[in-house]
């Protein structure tokens, strides 16, 4: 991706990338504005925010480290069940601490599976992550005394946030703001991480896994750390989903969720931080409103969108935006740390 430059030069280059751009507060202002403008859409809004958080965690491994996984819902589900089982069995129901626990458990599972699975790449890794997740899902079904099996754990007694704010099932105002704050914190963490030297080495691994050991980067360890952190964030996403819905079931561990988030990220554009936002919003808003208008055949519209984006944009909606932007302002190329367009495509 980049040839070796002097240490000082590299530092300034990183610092320049890291600086907050003028438009970056915009998504957060919009998210807050949504809260006041559409009080009746907050349930959907909360789901979108949780999905963005989940997609963000996937972007870390997929967009930055180039680990193509179809099993990311494993960590989401583990986080959700951590919160769910603790609350349902009367062990612990304070939201913030149990959310932290969900993150820790997610990260632990990520570390354990990552150490074993990350030795492989491509299709093999894809199937290994998928099968691990499916195995967890089946285990969840078998252990129905604790997990509630297929029916899941319902009516979780989640304590009020900070001891004051109740989670109302019908008007999820607390949920929305809570998720928004957690998303913001996680985003700041991920943003700092990817612009750090650690994040740069991940990008290096993605672009050329053979060359990185040559420049002295400990590739397997970097990948394992990245996978663990990402699993932790996915665990938080799952945990907060369980809290917001006061409910958890096997769907949190399912392929549906894992595949959908992958599609969202591909749709938005990976390796760009905001791809998670754009992809999740585009996918969910479109399918939400299309399915309201035409409940039986809304997938047609969604399918067309995916096909068109795949055909005419490289790397999702943001990729398309960037191409257009570049054409408009040839003199100032924008580099958001996006992956180079590879040719020819190596087989999975």
Which of 75, 69, 59, 61 has its CA nearest to residue 109? 75
What is the phi/psi pair of residue 168, to 5°?
Answer: -85, 130
Which position among 13, 89, 138, 329 is part of the footprint of other proteins (CB under 8 A)?
138
Candidate ranges 142-150, 183-191, 196-204, 218-226; the one touching other proteins (CB under 8 A): 142-150
Site residues (CB under 8 A) for other proteins, limited to 32-61: 40-41, 43-44, 47
Q: Candidates 247, 273, 274, 277: give the one binding other proteins (CB under 8 A).
A: 247
From 83-91, 174-182, 200-208, 307-315, give the range in contact with other proteins by CB under 8 A. 307-315
Alpha helices in 1-94 (DSSP H): 7-18, 26-37, 42-59, 73-88
Taking the alpha carbons of 117, 122, 128, 129 in that order, is the dihedral positive or negative?
positive
In angstroms, give the least distance from the CB of 20 to other proteins: 28
Cα–Cα distances (Å) from 158 to 93, 94, 263, in that order, read 5, 7, 31
Nearer CB in complex with other proteins: 35/198: 35
Least gap, CB of 252 to other proteins (angstroms): 8
262 binds other proteins (CB under 8 A): yes
Q: Is 157 in the site for other proteins (CB under 8 A)?
A: no
Compute how many residues bind other proteins; rule: CB under 8 A. Answer: 84
Taking a C-beta distance cutoff of 8 angstroms, is the pair 230, 60 a contact? yes
Q: Quickly list H helices, the chain.
A: 7-18, 26-37, 42-59, 73-88, 95-117, 122-142, 144-147, 173-194, 197-207, 211-214, 219-245, 255-268, 275-293, 299-312, 316-328
Q: Which is nearer to other proteins, 99 or 133 (CB)?
A: 133
Contact letters (x/-) for other proteins, 174-213, by CB under 8 A?
Answer: ----------------------------------------
If one asks whether residue 321 binds other proteins (CB under 8 A), the answer comes out as no
Q: Which of 245, 193, 209 is nearest to 50 (CA)?
A: 245
Q: Please give the span between the terminal C-alpha atoms of the chain, in angstroms, as a whole number.
A: 21
In the window 100-129, what residues touch other proteins (CB under 8 A)?
Answer: 116, 119-120, 122-124, 126-128
Q: Return the range that interacts with other proteins (CB under 8 A); candidates 11-19, 198-206, 222-230, 308-316.
A: 308-316
């Amino acid at each position: 991706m980049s040839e070796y430059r002097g240490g000082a030069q590299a530092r300034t280059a990183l610092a320049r990338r890291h600086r907050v751009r003028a438009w970056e507060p915009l998504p957060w202002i919009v998210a807050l504005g949504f809260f006041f403008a559409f009080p009746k859409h907050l349930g959907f809004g909360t789901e979108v925010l949780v999905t963005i958080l989940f997609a963000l965690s996937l972007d870390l491994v997929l967009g930055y480290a180039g680990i193509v996984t179809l099993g990311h819902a494993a960590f989401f589900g583990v986080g959700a069940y951590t919160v769910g089982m603790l609350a349902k069995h009367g062990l612990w129901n304070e939201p913030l601490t149990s959310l932290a626990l969900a993150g820790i458990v997610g990260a632990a599972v990520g570390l354990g599976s990552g150490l074993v699975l990350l030795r492989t790449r491509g299709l093999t890794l894809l199937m290994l992550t998928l099968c691990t997740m499916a195995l967890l899902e089946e285990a969840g079904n078998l252990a129905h005394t604790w997990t509630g099996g297929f029916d899941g754990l319902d009516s979780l007694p989640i304590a009020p946030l900070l001891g004051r704010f109740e989670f109302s099932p019908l008007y999820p105002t607390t949920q929305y703001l809570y998720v928004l704050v957690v998303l913001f914190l996680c985003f700041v963490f991920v943003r700092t991480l990817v612009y750090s030297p650690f994040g740069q080495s991940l990008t290096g691994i993605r672009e050329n896994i053979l060359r990185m050991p040559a420049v002295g980067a400990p590739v397997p360890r970097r990948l394992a750390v990245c996978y663990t952190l990402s699993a932790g964030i996915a665990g938080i996403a799952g945990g907060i989903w369980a809290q917001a819905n006061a409910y958890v079931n096997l769907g949190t561990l399912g392929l549906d969720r894992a595949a959908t988030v992958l599609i969202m990220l591909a749709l938005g554009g990976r390796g760009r931080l905001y791809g998670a936002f754009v992809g999740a919003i585009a996918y969910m808003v479109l399918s939400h409103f299309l399915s309201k208008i035409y409940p039986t055949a809304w997938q047609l519209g969604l399918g067309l969108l995916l096909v068109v984006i795949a055909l005419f944009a490289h790397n999702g909606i943001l990729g398309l935006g960037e191409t257009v932007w570049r054409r408009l302002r040839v003199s100032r190329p924008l580099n958001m740390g996006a992956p180079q367009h590879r040719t020819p495509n190596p087989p999975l």
